[in-house]
A and B are shown apart, each in its own frame.
Chain A
């Protein structure tokens, strides 16, 4: 048992080592101040950053940079966020340095809890039109629960805090800001997202004669994504040895919507009873990083209805080898599908800043250890041993019982859907009871797969055929598997993010 776990560990680390993205929207890259940043781009420590300041009672969009430094020691992540923001038009600047300690605790077999507090005194100075707002007190706590599924880590958390600023000069006083925020997100190979909603209650208390007191609320909704896009490029010259191919573009994009409800101020600067609702948006994004994907030789499939699906899977490395002899009408075996799903539902990338020193060395030292197969019929020297054991360790597949995997058996639609939904970790989207699907052949769906079929329909992974049937017990051909896997990748790339965004944002993301 122990052996097995070590093997799993090595494999995971190795896989991660090869799939680190050059662009990544990591949780926490936007800070915890309700702003948005451009996120991680390989080789850059400084992020483009924007947030809205409303201490004056009037929303001011501030833009500038955010520098994040992180280190992981003994399960505690120490991170320092340095903000340098300005709005020239409004004659406003903001300087802020916050250092947090985040403790990570394992709370379940798949779940971890992150708790974040300040490790040092926070400092923040905002200047607007010569008046300065100095942070004098900040109570802050943030907690986040992370649920790790075979191909996706889901998380959800809350932020609560109270900031107190002292305002210098005539008409000065104090500004108190109560913060409460919810955020949700996931991380996976094809894209990450964090969406959140922060609500601020601002209270301005004046000092001295003619002191002006007012209050307002601000709602900040943001989404922070990194996505991969594939575009097919036709070749322009005719005399070229291959047809067009795919270009992958990776980019981060953050958007922020804010809605403020603040008093109108009269020409003398005093608040009035008229509350003004204002809406505004900000966006920060990175320029796409592009990569040309390999071009498979699939000339014999020209015009086949699954040509593009198969081509794209080869380009993405989900299908590998045997291009010339690829027969789309052949049934796919359990082992072949497993190999494909391991590549289509790649492990969740880890934050490169948080890899404890020495892990890679440990990995290479233990690399030579003998591998033990979880299945009797997939020995370590089996052609697809690596994929099958990785899929097993990650919980993507189970055997058929009795320590057997039946690698050469065919795979039905029902089995495939069960694996895909498990990879996403969305089994719980089905009703508590055994689901009833809308497929006309619902009753033919095996008992164990009915919830998966329900979820797959609900998230748009499958639709019925022209007669409304799922045909759950038909063996999947390679072409059908290709279509299904492509849809699965697109779901992970686009649809998941859309659900997160549109549930939180009032507007929808543009592209």
Chain B
């Protein structure tokens, strides 16, 4: 634990706990650290400090962005100003200056002086140069020629006294140095390793071809070392010039190499304390000021100044004396060995930042938004200084919950930094002010397995975000905690193993709200995930549907709009179905994923069970019995087809109320305890569904005092959500009020659900004052008729036992009678294919083409669904079609009214008197597209029958529905 952390944590209220621990630890350690510890090394100031500072008061460097570098270069005496407080930062470095600079960097000034003097001595006396600078300049050139930086021809050119006579290809010493030349000289003088392999770094520059081939390995070397770099746009510009401020920056970038060659040191540390001490020197009392510096390697250094020796301090772009140093400052101090004193003295010190406002974090950049300038990073550890050097004291001091962070960054600092880069961030007051790409000298060891609740999973964008470990992280008030979001990245181009409820799934099936464990690989990418769902189930009814949005009413009467997405699984009666098959009025269980971000529906399981409406009644209210939860009624009539029928029971009867039975009257919804006293004796309409053990249960009741009832049986022309239903034949409109019972396909629906063309039975009361028809009951009639079934008759030519059979030729029953076809026809025999005869059900296994009971040659009826036979019957041949409505059923006799016989000669249905018919055990009976038995026929059904002739009471085929084909 150190100050950096203390500082960081103290600013994060959310980590109060950590802060307390840190403070506790620090309160015992911090003072002891300084007071009780003796310095490992002592650095003295330099005697010429005030002189140097005076010389560094440049007036023209402010705003160059390289102030510190220029001052440092000056303080070290490597790149000085031109005097008169001018540095001339934008002046181009000349070739001779450049050579002088690189040799000074390497500490070879003395050597150059000697060469210069030697060269001067070789000149004729009159030609000798007198100014030492000129002599030395020549020395640098000679040295360069000696080292092979320049050719002898170049040297000759350079030494020509009249430079103006040289042509453009010649080496003019006062011409600006080219970047490639400078890079090459620098690399060679600093003894960098040339890089001959074509390397990515150089290749990534757009203009590398314009560099001289011999310079390339050296350019490569300086690029690799980070001494020079591109211009920010992907160009190296080998033939560009180098201005003096850039030279200062390059010098600073090369500091480590310079230090080594010049026998200097460069240290980093933090001002931990400042003390004064008195000492006697030559009989005088001298006050020493001691700066206690905690070095980045953890040891304690003392920088000592007194009245003679000071330190050149570079802070905020200005050179000053040691008074500028403050508690908490992070400094870089450069020291040289002094043979005089036999110790190290500080050449200069730069204040980099203060622990009070700046921190450095080693991170991996996970994502960045260059528009908003937001960087999502994985934080590894904090650093004292914006670099990692061998021997630096690094500890993994990041709390697990902080490992993912989001920061904003300053404009213009991102450069070509991209996700995946390892960076050291300089974070000043919570904003990234600098991003520095680094290569870590080690593999960060991230936490291996993380658990939590998924906030967001986005495999296509490559990340998953979890909530905080303690379940917080959704309150908008806690913006600061945004930084603490736990985001993990999918490895690019690699498959991630994912499990959900211990079954292998694709990663995108892990969804918001899931409990998840994530295992990370050594690079911090997701390797494997294992999740379990945290879903909520709710039951309810679909009130309405518009496209992919359904309005659902839950059992607790709350309503919600749900969006059906591609991920929503729809299950209808136990089988996966298309979501378009969801209908208004369906009862379903909804599997919901309720998260802070909203509700998504994962599964809708429709199970109408016994909730489908099975009957519509009209009666008079006697009482609502709250104790037994039932309704007592009399004069009960049931809607059969399109007419009311009295039920068998006479007088008062009772029907149970369902748990959520609704009551409506006068356009109001009422509670069940309000009904009895107010509406006793009123007429009511109710819809019932079947209950357990043959009982019926009331779902909804509509009470009305009006008794001007009319029943319509008509085709719907239009129906609107607002409840206006227009009829085709009657040419009038009916108005549905609140509570009107509208039933379609067994479901209670709203008026908007009825479609144009539906056949319906409608019950309405006529308002005596306005003449308006108020609909109380609408029952959409299922008019499927024969559906997909077809009826054939023909002679059996061949039987493949239990497999198939063939008719030699066949007739097919159509709306106007049999249609003959003189071709054979084969039908499949399935396990479910049934066969009936006079006695009833026969065994299909006895349907054989051999032996005594062979069926070959016999004529049969076949009810088929495509090529599959559903029912075989040996009932007699008939061709006389009659249509009628069932008036009543007594035993096995069916009484028909509204009878019409089909006259094939005139192609019309002719009215005739009422008849009675009796279906036989082998009669084919079809209702709503399915084969049924006589017991399924009901009063009110309209049927079409096939008989032998108009006088026959035997029906061979019975099909319900008015338009059967």
A in complex with B: yes
User: Could you list which residues of chain A lie within 8 angstroms of chain B, going by C-beta atoms?
Assistant: 231-234, 247, 249, 255-257, 264-268, 270, 272-275, 281-284, 288, 290, 430-438, 440-445, 447, 450, 458, 460, 498, 502, 505-511
Interface centre among A270, A275, A283, A438 (most CB of B within 10 A): A438
Asked whether any CB of chain A lies closer than 8 Å to the CB of B595, the reply is: yes
**Residues of chain A lying within 8 A (CB to CB) of residue B845:** 272-273
Q: Is the CB of A510 within 8 A of B834?
A: no
Bound-complex Cα distance A506 to B595 (A): 29
Interface string of B687-707 (1 = CB under 8 A from A): 000111111010000000000
Q: Is the CB of B470 within 8 A of A447?
A: yes
Interface pick from B73-81, B117-125, B531-539? B531-539
5 tightest A-B CB contacts, nearest first: A434-B471, A283-B692, A283-B693, A507-B609, A443-B475
Kindly list chain A residues whose C-beta atoms are within 8 Å of the C-beta of B478.
443
Q: How far is the CA of A71 from the CA of B467 in the complex (A)?
A: 54
| Residue B233, interface by CB 8 Å | no
Contact (Cβ within 8 A) B656 A511: yes
A-B contact pairs, 10 of them (CB 8 A): A266-B841, A273-B833, A282-B692, A431-B513, A440-B475, A498-B555, A506-B607, A507-B692, A508-B610, A511-B658
Q: Which of B272-280, B425-433, B624-632 interfaces with chain A?
A: B624-632
B693 nearest CB neighbor, chain A only: A283
What residues on B are CB-neighbors of A275 within 8 Å?
831-832
Which chain B residue lies CB-closest to A287? B628
Flag if B596 contacts A438 (CB, 8 Å): yes
Which residues of the partner chain A approach B451 to less than 8 Å between Cβ atoms?
432-433
Q: How far is the CA of A506 from the CA of B843 in the complex (A)?
A: 33
Interchain CB contact under 8 A, A266 and B475: no
Min Cβ gap A508→B in Å is 6
CB distance B596 to A508 under 8 Å? Answer: no
- Considering the chains assembled together, what is the distance between the CA atoms of A211 and B478 in angstroms? 79
Q: Which of A232, A249, A436, A444 has the most CB of B within 10 A?
A: A436
Q: Closest approach, in angstroms, between the C-beta of A468 and any C-beta of chain B?
A: 10
Indicate with 1 or 0, residue by residue over B819-843, a CB within 8 angstroms of chain A CB atoms: 0000000000001111000011111
CB-based contact A433/B452 at 8 Å:
yes
B471: chain A residues at CB < 8 Å are: 433-437, 442, 445, 447, 450
When distances are taken between beta carbons in the complex, the residues of chain B under 8 Å from A290 are 627
Chain A residues, CB < 8 A from B697? 510-511
Please name 17 further chain A to chain B contacts, defined as beta carbons within 8 Å, in addition to the given A434-B453, A434-B471, sorted by A numbering.
A233-B626, A257-B692, A266-B841, A266-B843, A267-B839, A267-B842, A273-B831, A274-B833, A281-B691, A283-B691, A431-B532, A432-B515, A433-B453, A434-B469, A438-B595, A458-B536, A511-B656
Q: Which residues of A contact B790 (CB under 8 A)?
A: none
The answer to whether B844 and A272 touch across the interface, beta carbons within 8 angstroms, is yes
Q: B369 interface residue, CB < 8 Å from A?
A: no
A283 to chain B, nearest CB (A): 4
Q: Which residues of A contact B832 (CB under 8 A)?
A: 273-275
User: CB < 8 Å: which of A249, A267, A430, A458 contacts B840?
Assistant: A267
Contact B596 A272 (CB under 8 A): no
- Cα distance A374–B843 when bound, in Å? 77
B610 and A267 form a contact (CB under 8 A): no
**A458 → chain B closest CB, angstroms:** 5
Are A506 and B609 in contact, CB atoms less than 8 angstroms apart?
yes
Interface centre among B470, B481, B843 (most CB of A within 10 A): B843
The 8 Å CB contact of A249, one of B475, B532, B627, B658, is B627
Beta-carbon nearest neighbor of A265 in chain B: B841
**CB closest chain-A residue, reference B628:** A288
Q: What are the interface flags for B21-60 relative to A under an 8 Å C-beta threshold, 1 for contact and 0 otherwise? A: 0000000000000000000000000000000000000000
- 1/0 per position for B627-666, CB-CB distance to A under 8 A? 1110000000000000000000000000011110000000
Q: Min CB distance, B821 to chain A, in Å?
A: 28
A442 and B841 within 8 A (CB): no
B657 touching A511, Cβ below 8 Å: yes
Residue contact A274 to B473, C-beta cutoff 8 Å:
no
Which among A256, A267, A290, A502 has the highest number of chain B CB atoms within 10 Å? A267
Interface residues on B, range: 35 or more
Within the complex, the shortest CB–CB distance from A511 to chain B, in Å, comes to 5
What residues of chain B lie closer than 8 Å to A268, measured between beta carbons? Answer: 843
Evaluate contact between B629 and A435: CB separation under 8 angstroms.
Answer: no
**Contact pick for B627, options A231, A234, A431, A440, CB 8 Å:** A231
B594 contacts the other chain (CB 8 A): yes
On whether the beta carbons of B475 and A441 are closer than 8 Å, the reply is yes
B168 lies within 8 A of chain A by Cβ: no
A460 touches B692 (CB 8 A): no
Task: Using A281-B692, A506-B609, A511-B657 as known contacts, say yes or no to A266 and B474 having CB atoms under 8 A apart.
Answer: no
CA distance A511 to B596 in the complex (A): 34
CB of B472 closer than 8 Å to a CB of A: yes
Give the distance in Å from the alpha carbon of A283 to the alpha carbon of B692 in the complex. Answer: 5
B509 at the interface (CB under 8 A from A): no
| Complex-state Cα separation, A266 to B842, whole angstroms | 5
Q: Which residue of B lies closest to A463 (CB)?
A: B558
**Which of A432, A458, A507 touches B532 (beta carbons < 8 Å)?**
A432
CA gap between A288 and B629 in the complex, in Å: 11
Task: Tell me, rounded to whole Å, the shortest Cβ–Cβ distance linking A220 to chain B.
Answer: 13
Q: Are A510 and B656 neighbours in the complex by a CB distance under 8 Å?
A: yes
B111 is an interface residue with CB less than 8 A from chain A: no
Q: How far is the CA of A508 from the CA of B541 in the complex (A)?
A: 13
B residues 456-493 near A (Cβ < 8 Å) are 467, 469-478, 481
A256–B831 CB distance below 8 A: no
A257 to B589, CA, bound (A): 19
Is B708 on the interface with A (CB-CB < 8 A)? no
Bound-state Cα–Cα, A177 to B143, Å: 108
Cα distance, A496 to B160, chains bound together (Å): 104
Question: In the bound complex, how far is the Cα of B695 from the Cα of A442, in angstroms?
Answer: 47
B691–A436 contact, CB under 8 A?
no
Q: Does B918 contact A (CB under 8 A)?
A: no
Docked Cα-Cα span, A480 to B476, in Å, equals 27
* Residues 899 to 928 of chain B near chain A (Cβ within 8 Å): none
Contact B841 A267 (CB under 8 A): yes
Tell me the complex Cα distance, A509–B697, Å.
11
A233 to B672, CA, bound (A): 12
Beta-carbon contacts under 8 Å, B586-600 to A: 587, 589, 594-596
- Chain B residues near A435 (CB, 8 Å)? 453, 471, 534
Chain A's closest residue to B554 (CB) is A460
Q: Are A438 and B693 in contact (CB under 8 A)?
A: no
Report chain A residues within 8 Å CB of B467.
436
B556 adjacent to chain A (CB < 8 Å)? yes
**Chain B CB within 10 Å, residue with most, of A257, A288, A498, A511:** A511
Q: Contact between B609 and A434 (Cβ–Cβ < 8 Å)? A: no
Question: Which residues on B sit within 8 Å (CB–CB) of A441?
Answer: 475
A438 to B595, CA, bound (A): 6
Which residues on A sit within 8 Å (CB–CB) of B629? Answer: 511
Asked whether any CB of chain A lies closer than 8 Å to the CB of B611, the reply is: yes
Bound together, the chains give a CA A283 to CA B656 distance in angstroms of 13
CB atoms of B658 and A510 under 8 A apart: yes
Minimum distance in angstroms from A37 CB to a CB of chain B: 14
Chain A residue numbers with a CB within 8 Å of B695 are 283
1/0 per position for B524-552, CB-CB distance to A under 8 A?
00000000101010010000000000000
Chain B residues within an 8 Å CB radius of A507: 609-611, 692
User: In the complex, what's the smallest C-beta–C-beta distance from B116 to chain A, in angstroms?
Assistant: 74
- Within 8 Å by CB of A502, from B452, B539, B626, B657, lies B539
**Residue of A whose beta carbon sits closest to that of B610:** A507
Q: Cβ of A430: which chain B residues have Cβ within 8 Å of it? A: 534
Chain B contacts for A443, CB-based, 8 A = 472-475, 477-478, 481
A227 to chain B, nearest CB (A): 11
Which residues of chain B have C-beta atoms less than 8 A from A431's C-beta? 453, 513, 515, 532, 534
Near A by CB (< 8 A), chain B positions 554-595 give 555-556, 587, 589, 594-595
Bound complex: CA A442 to CA B513 (Å): 14
Determine the distance from Cα of A447 to Cα of B596 in the docked complex, in whole angstroms: 17
Q: How far is the CB of B470 from chain A (nearest CB, A)?
A: 5
Interface residues of B in 500-532 (CB under 8 A from A): 513, 515, 532
Q: Are A438 and B594 in contact (CB under 8 A)?
A: yes
